[in-house]
């Protein structure tokens, strides 16, 4: 079993990089209706290539498809928010936009800025070369590039691409001196205002092109950049200008952290298994670490099993992650967050591989078009069974980048059809799993629709001589962000683009009333030509060019309407605020920005600038993440953004207190007793290593044997006494009349109902009210 490419990453098993993963408190896991990589909005950051000549690029397309038989309105804008396309797409009428191509010897944009930047000049500054696709119904968005010797394919993932933390994955590459080779990662800000993005946790010896390192070996220090909405920022390693000493593959696993949801593309454009010859482009859009999984099935491409082009790449997101291959009980590797592992030569049955992990990992895949070193492709792979989608409808002109092979991961026993006919090839069992099978159907052409009776994932692998490419079209987990700010993460939201906190769905069709054009018709979500409640039959018997349904009076008692429309017979389809939703279905008929009052009410936006799922109108720290809304001093300003030392029991001597948690706004100390200042188990936890006397009237140390909860304390007679045997018990404070006078002593109840015990060696205990200075 080959576990790694020795020549490319000799430490894949032995080397463990210890790094800490950041917590994502702004994202909450939910369940989503199956939509694969379909979405109503896609963000595609700028793409990078080594140079702008035919060595790297030529025709650069954006392909849009949809399962909708009705026309879907689509707008495509660039990073300047300038429209480069307004039109429609339908299942029968895909759209392919030529964004740019070679003009003379260099690439030239045809629409907008062309989506591409190049070479050293493309790194380390904000650019407007990204794309934003907005549609009235879910669409697929696929980038394709084809030059005389190279090809690339990227599938956008809609809201599932958005997150706050990512790990870099690029196609493996042996560094060369060619100016057309290198790797990149590109980040796009998707939200209004300023987004900050930090790149950190670089492996020793990695120094990105255009940046400087420090230490030995010289290594990139973390750095932070700022972006405005729709700006992209590209960093990477240009082979002929790489200042680092580590293998360029050690770029893999670098962490990206943002304060607002961003979209990220990564890849190698160009790269290959040798420094001298054989290279191609490989790029894809990745998903955040919150969508990492523990089980994956990989499908091999057209190269032999042991070929370096057939290499799954595992990237750990959590420390102490154990990885297994093909159901083996013997671990292949133990990884820490940011570690990566190449799994060359592990395809079983010649064509597939099962990878499982003890904790969530990200999976990238280099895949070969053929045995030629010039034909690698690159995909970001979804976790197994993470998406309940049962179809991909459709993939346009699959042979555009070369002879196409269809790859399918499906449930064992489920039927799979391609364009309505049985897939026509045998299922391939997956070693280590009885639940999944794969299919490889060669030489597919045209536009492809794949349907299964159970969960399915679909990929296309292309090859044409020295050209290779790959694209993955399904299978990602539910999105975890809430971009309509209604308090319902989009993965669970039945109207992810329209605020509807109530999630009302009167007709039970899975589409919320707030975005359902026919909220009383379970068979339709838009009136169409014939109106709600009427089957969309466009038959025109008299051939007058007008559908019969609009010439039949379905509202005989309503002089104003022939069809029910949105509001039904007897009610006008008035739209007072002009938002496209009739007043009868609009919970905010005078507010064009809302269809439901939401949490902030009509006329007030349900914004959530810190993405903590608490609307700004109700957030006591609207610019700082604080889901618990803790406010210890009750001043309406949350603890997360309030000044330090604002609360009584905060372990800090606030300005109006005479001591820690004592005096001022806190309960005054009775009988002149001193306050407990946090040592000697005052917090409920042992504080070993010091025996400073904190409850006595002098400042000397207490002598005496150490106990479970060192240091010791003193009673009112200034005598050292032992602490209680456990720190976890509940303490209270009582009054004692002892040799030193009246004072405060700490008491506890060993078990429920037992007589209290106190820290005192003399005097008479008088149980009184709790006193200040401790739990």
The beta-carbon contacts of 742-747 under 8 Å, at least 24 apart in sequence, are 742/671, 742/672, 742/716, 743/671, 743/672, 743/673, 743/715, 743/716, 744/669, 744/670, 744/671, 744/673, 744/674, 744/695, 744/716, 744/771, 744/773, 745/695, 745/715, 745/716, 746/676, 746/695, 746/713, 746/774
Over the stretch 399-415, which tens digit does the pLDDT of each residue have? 999 999 999 999 999 99
pLDDT level of residue 640 (50, 70, 90 thresholds):
confident
| pLDDT of res. 686 | 29
pLDDT level of residue 2 (50, 70, 90 thresholds):
very low
Is the distance from CB of 120 to CB of 209 less than 8 angstroms?
Answer: yes
| pLDDT of res. 729 | 52
Residue 697 or 301, more confident: 301
| Torsion region of 485: left, alpha or beta (phi above 0 gives left; psi -120 to 50 gives alpha) | left
| pLDDT of res. 734 | 65
pLDDT level of residue 5 (50, 70, 90 thresholds):
very low
If DSSP codes are grouped into helix, strand and coil, which group holds residue 608?
coil
Distance CA(138)–CA(158), nearest Å, equals 9
Residue 599 or 111, more confident: 111
* Residue 21 in this model has a pLDDT that exceeds 50: no
Domain ranges of the chain: 39-472, 647-775
Is the distance from CB of 143 to CB of 154 less than 8 angstroms?
Answer: yes
Residue 685 or 83, more confident: 83
pLDDT level of residue 381 (50, 70, 90 thresholds):
very high
Least confident range from 52-66, 129-143, 751-765: namely 751-765
| pLDDT of res. 475 | 66
Q: How far apart are the first and last CA of the chain?
A: 58
Over the stretch 505-546, which tens digit does the pLDDT of each residue have? 989 999 998 888 888 889 888 888 888 888 888 787 767 677
| pLDDT of res. 662 | 57
If DSSP codes are grouped into helix, strand and coil, which group holds residue 226?
strand
| pLDDT of res. 690 | 35
pLDDT level of residue 267 (50, 70, 90 thresholds):
very high
Least confident range from 349-363, 579-593, 628-642, 706-720: namely 706-720
pLDDT level of residue 60 (50, 70, 90 thresholds):
very high
The percentage of the chain sitting over the pLDDT mark of 90, rounded to a whole number, equals 47
Which two three-digit tokens encode residue 481? 């962000």
Q: Residue 145's closest CA among 103, 174, 102?
A: 102
| pLDDT of res. 286 | 95
| pLDDT of res. 517 | 86
pLDDT level of residue 369 (50, 70, 90 thresholds):
confident
Sign of the dihedral through C-alpha 326, 330, 332, 336: positive
pLDDT level of residue 644 (50, 70, 90 thresholds):
low
Range ranked top by mean pLDDT from 394-403, 596-605, 642-651, 728-737: 394-403
Least confident range from 405-414, 456-465, 516-525, 645-654: namely 645-654
pLDDT level of residue 730 (50, 70, 90 thresholds):
low
| pLDDT of res. 658 | 56
| pLDDT of res. 489 | 78
Annotate 292-360 with three-state secondary structure. Answer: CEEEEEEECCCCCCCCCCCEEEEEECCCCEEEEECCCCCCCEEECCCCEEECCCCCECCCEEEEEEEEE
Render the burial of 85-107: b for 16+ CB within 10 Å, e for the rest: beebbbbeebbbbebbbbeeeeb
Mean pLDDT of 60-81: 95
Residue 68 or 20, more confident: 68
Range ranked top by mean pLDDT from 230-244, 381-395, 460-474: 230-244
* Residue 701 in this model has a pLDDT that exceeds 90: no
User: Exposed, middle or buried: residue 442 (CB in 10 Å: 0-12, 13-18, 19+)?
Assistant: exposed
Distance CA(658)–CA(667), nearest Å, equals 11
Is the distance from CB of 381 to CB of 363 less than 8 angstroms?
Answer: yes
Over the stretch 173-210, which tens digit does the pLDDT of each residue have? 888 888 889 999 999 999 999 999 999 999 999 999 99
CA distances from 501 to 489, 493, 520, 522, 593 (A): 10, 9, 19, 21, 15
pLDDT level of residue 228 (50, 70, 90 thresholds):
very high
Residue 244 or 560, more confident: 244
* Residue 258 in this model has a pLDDT that exceeds 90: yes
Mean pLDDT of 236-241: 94
pLDDT level of residue 736 (50, 70, 90 thresholds):
low
| pLDDT of res. 656 | 60
Which two three-digit tokens encode residue 220? 């990139």
* Residue 707 in this model has a pLDDT that exceeds 50: no
Please state the pTM of the whole predicted model: 0.69
Bridging pattern class, strands 116-118 and 47-49: parallel
| pLDDT of res. 9 | 37
* Residue 150 in this model has a pLDDT that exceeds 60: yes
| pLDDT of res. 66 | 95
Q: Where are the alpha helices (DSSP H) in 537-693?
A: 548-551
| pLDDT of res. 681 | 32
What mean pLDDT, rounded, does the chain reach? 81
pLDDT level of residue 474 (50, 70, 90 thresholds):
confident
């Amino acid at each position: 079993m080959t576990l790694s490419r020795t020549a490319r990453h000799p430490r894949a098993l032995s080397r463990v990089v210890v790094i800490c993963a950041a917590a994502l408190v702004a994202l909450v896991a939910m369940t989503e209706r199956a939509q694969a990589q379909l979405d109503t909005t896609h963000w595609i950051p700028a793409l990078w290539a080594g140079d702008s000549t035919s060595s790297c690029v030529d025709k650069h397309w954006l392909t849009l498809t949809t399962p909708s038989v009705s026309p879907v309105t689509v707008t495509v804008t660039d990073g300047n928010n300038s429209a480069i396309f307004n039109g429609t797409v339908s299942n029968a009428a895909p759209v392919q936009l030529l964004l740019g191509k070679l003009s003379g010897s260099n690439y030239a944009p045809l629409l907008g800025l062309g989506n591409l930047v190049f070479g050293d000049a493309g790194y380390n500054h904000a650019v407007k070369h990204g794309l934003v696709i907005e549609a009235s119904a879910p669409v697929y968005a696929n980038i394709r590039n084809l030059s005389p010797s190279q090809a690339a394919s990227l599938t956008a993932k809609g809201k599932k691409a958005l997150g706050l933390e990512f790990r870099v994955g690029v196609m493996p590459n042996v560094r060369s001196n060619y100016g057309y080779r290198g790797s990149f990662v590109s980040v796009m800000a998707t939200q209004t205002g300023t987004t900050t993005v930090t790149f950190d946790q670089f492996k020793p010896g990695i120094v990105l092109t255009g940046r400087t390192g420090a230490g030995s070996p010289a290594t990139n220090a973390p750095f932070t950049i700022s972006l405005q909405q729709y700006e992209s920022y590209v960093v990477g390693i240009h082979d002929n200008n790489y200042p680092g000493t580590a293998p360029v593959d050690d770029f893999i696993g670098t962490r990206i952290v943002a304060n607002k949801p961003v979209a990220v593309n990564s890849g190698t454009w160009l790269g290959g298994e040798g420094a001298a010859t054989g290279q191609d482009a490989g790029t894809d859009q990745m998903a955040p670490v919150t969508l990492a999984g523990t089980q994956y099935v990989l499908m091999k491409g057209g190269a032999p099993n042991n070929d370096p082009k057939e290499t799954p790449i595992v990237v750990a997101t959590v420390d102490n992650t154990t990885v297994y291959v093909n159901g083996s009980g013997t671990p292949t590797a133990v990884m820490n967050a940011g570690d990566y592992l190449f799994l060359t030569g592990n395809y079983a049955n010649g064509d597939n591989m099962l990878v499982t992990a003890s904790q969530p990992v990200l999976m990238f895949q280099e895949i070969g078009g053929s045995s030629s070193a010039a034909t690698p492709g690159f995909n970001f792979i979804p976790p197994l069974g993470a998406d309940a989608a049962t179809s991909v409808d459709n993939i346009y002109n699959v042979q555009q980048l070369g002879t196409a092979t269809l790859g399918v991961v499906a449930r064992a026993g489920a039927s799979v059809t391609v364009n309505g006919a049985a897939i026509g090839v045998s299922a391939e069992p997956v070693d280590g799993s009885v639940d999944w099978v794969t299919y490889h159907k060669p030489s597919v052409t045209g536009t492809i629709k794949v349907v299964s009776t159970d969960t399915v994932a679909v990929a296309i692998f292309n090859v044409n001589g020295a050209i290779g490419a790959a694209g993955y079209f399904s299978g990602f987990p539910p999105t975890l962000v809430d971009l309509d700010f209604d308090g319902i993460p989009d993965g669970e939201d039945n109207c992810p683009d329209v605020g509807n906190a109530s999630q009302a769905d009167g007709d039970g069709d899975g589409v919320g009333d707030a975005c359902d054009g026919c909220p009383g018709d379970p068979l339709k979500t838009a009136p169409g030509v014939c109106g709600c409640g009427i089957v969309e039959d466009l038959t025109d018997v008299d051939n007058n060019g007008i559908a019969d349904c609009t010439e039949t009076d379905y509202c005989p008692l309503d002089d104003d309407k022939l069809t029910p429309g949105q509001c039904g017979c007897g009610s006008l389809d008035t739209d007072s605020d002009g938002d496209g939703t009739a007043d009868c279905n609009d919970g905010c008929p005078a507010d064009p920005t809302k269809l439901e009052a939401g949490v902030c009410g009509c006329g007030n936006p349900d914004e959530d600038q810190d993405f903590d799922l608490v609307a700004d109108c109700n957030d006591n720290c609207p610019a700082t993440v604080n889901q618990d809304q803790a406010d210890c001093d009750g001043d309406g300003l949350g603890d997360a953004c309030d000044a330090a030392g604002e609360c009584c029991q905060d372990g800090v001597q606030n300005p109006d207190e005479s001591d820690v948690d004592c005096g001022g706004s806190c309960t005054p100390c009775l009988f002149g007793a001193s306050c407990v200042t946090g040592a000697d188990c005052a917090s409920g936890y042992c504080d070993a290593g010091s025996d400073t006397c904190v409850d006595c009237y002098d400042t000397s140390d207490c002598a005496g044997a150490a106990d479970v909860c060192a240091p010791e304390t003193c009673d009112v007679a200034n005598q050292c006494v032992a602490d209680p045997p456990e720190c976890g018990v509940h303490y209270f404070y009582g009054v004692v009349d002892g040799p030193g006078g009246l004072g405060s002593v700490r008491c506890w109840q060993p078990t429920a109902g037992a007589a209290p015990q106190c820290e005192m060696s003399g005097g008479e205990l008088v149980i009184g009210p709790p006193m200040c200075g401790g739990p």
